Structure formats: C-alpha cells, structure tokens
Amino acid sequence: MAGNMATVNTGKFVGRGPTLGSALKSIRQERQWSLAEASSATGLSISTWSKIENGQRSLTYDKLVQLSRALAVDISRLFSEGVPSATPDLHVGRRSVQRGEEGFVIEAGIYTYRFLAQDLVRKRFTPVLMELHARSIGDFEDLLRHEGDEFAVVLEGVVELHTEVYAPLRLEVGESVYFDSSVGHAYLNAGPGTARIMAIASDSPAPQEAKQLPVAKASKRTAAARSKVVAGQARATRSARS
C-alpha cells in the first residue's frame, strides 16, 4: 500500500453519493460483521477498516482488487451502497456514460483515481482516469501490483513508468504502454505541471488466441469517394516531386 494515504471523496458526488467507506460499512452491516470479523475476513486491521469507513484513509487500485476478492464481490460493489440487481446476462447491450467530472473519485495521496463506469458490475476491464502526484519512487511504500494486464495512455504532462524488470520509461502526451501488471510498477509525474493518464486494467485470464478488433467496413459510396481523395493526393505528391 502506498504511503501518505489521503481522505476518500467522490468528486461531484460529495455529500450525496456513496464513498468507499460507506460501501464497506454497507457490506459489513449486510453480513452482520463486527469490525473484528471484517478484519479477520479481509486481512485489513481493525484500525484501517475503521479509518476507511470514516473517510480517513484510502486504498490504491491493487489493494481495492485484493479487498474485492477477499469479500468475494465485484470491485464495483466497493463504489456503491447497495447490492446490484442480477440480470440474466450482465454484458448484453449494457453501457455506462460519464460526463464532465463524473466518476467515483478516490484521493490516494500518490494518485487521484477517477473510476469510470463504476455502475457496471463484472466488467471485463476497469477504466480509470489518474492524476499523478508522486514525483519520486520514494513516495511509495512499495510498488503496486495486481493480476492481469494494464494499458495506459498519457493525456497530459510527462509520465515516467517504473517497474521491477525494465529501466524507467518516459512517456509524453499521446504515448502509451501495455504491460503485465503483476510486475511491480509505479507511475511518476516527470514534468513541471499536471500529469494525467487513462489506465485500463484487466484481471481476466489471458485468451488462448490474440483477439483482433473487427475492422469497420465503409459503404460503397464512402469507399469510392475515399478512393478519389487518395488518388488525388497521390497525383499531387508525384507532381510535387517532378
């Protein structure tokens, strides 16, 4: 767990929406657990559990994953105060839309996490907007690690990715990285201003074969028009060279 944990909040939902603390309290009450029983079930100390419930402590993403597994709940349950309703197929036709500053926000000192699509359960991956505050690897008690893969693209600023197996990787706006997130890792703000990334984490088992995204097919009219544009560009290029 990273050091200097800060208070949990929920962005625009402050004062009227769920927090990590209220979600954990809800789970504990549903199961009629004492703090001691909750501690025994999850491995979190009584003090830590109490501080989280009271909004005095937060958890990084890898710890949230561990906690959801210990509680045998979908990670989205940690962002809500009620039991999600079951549907025959939770993936068919569903969608979640976030606008502006919406999303479930956790301030973790080293990072500010804004979890997207937090209303959906059993997601195949977890999309998170992250603002990076740490500027030194010494800001972390330990590198973060969780099962699965992680993809990150830089939205703002300069980012440095540290891992257990590679030299530090410097990334600028528009650049991205995909890696095995079971390897210890940490993102640092390596520029003078704000640094933000979009991270997508998946703890799903690796597929037997690589999956390819279906390629969109243009209509005949669009394809014909595009062909004329490309042909015109090619003629212009040849003319410029001659």
pLDDT of residue 16: 40
pLDDT tens by residue, 163-182: 999 999 999 999 999 999 99
pTM: 0.69
Rounded to an integer, what distance in angstroms lies between the CA atom of residue 42 and that of residue 72?
10
What number of CA atoms fall less than 13 Å from residue 211's CA on the CB side? 5
Q: Identify which has the larger pLDDT, 211 or 78.
A: 78
Neighbours of 87 (CB within 10 A): 10
The widest CA-to-CA distance across the chain, in whole angstroms, is 82
Residue pair 196/131 in contact (Cβ under 8 Å)? The answer is: yes
Q: Is the confidence at residue 122, as pLDDT, over 80?
A: no
> Domain 11-86+95-202 carries which CATH code?
2.60.120.10
- Report the pLDDT value the prediction gives residue 211, as an integer from 0 to 100: 60
pLDDT digits (tens, 9 = 90+) for 2-48: 333 333 343 333 334 567 888 888 889 888 999 999 999 999 999 99
Residue range 88-101, pLDDT digits in tens: 455 677 788 888 87
Place of tokens 């062909």: 227
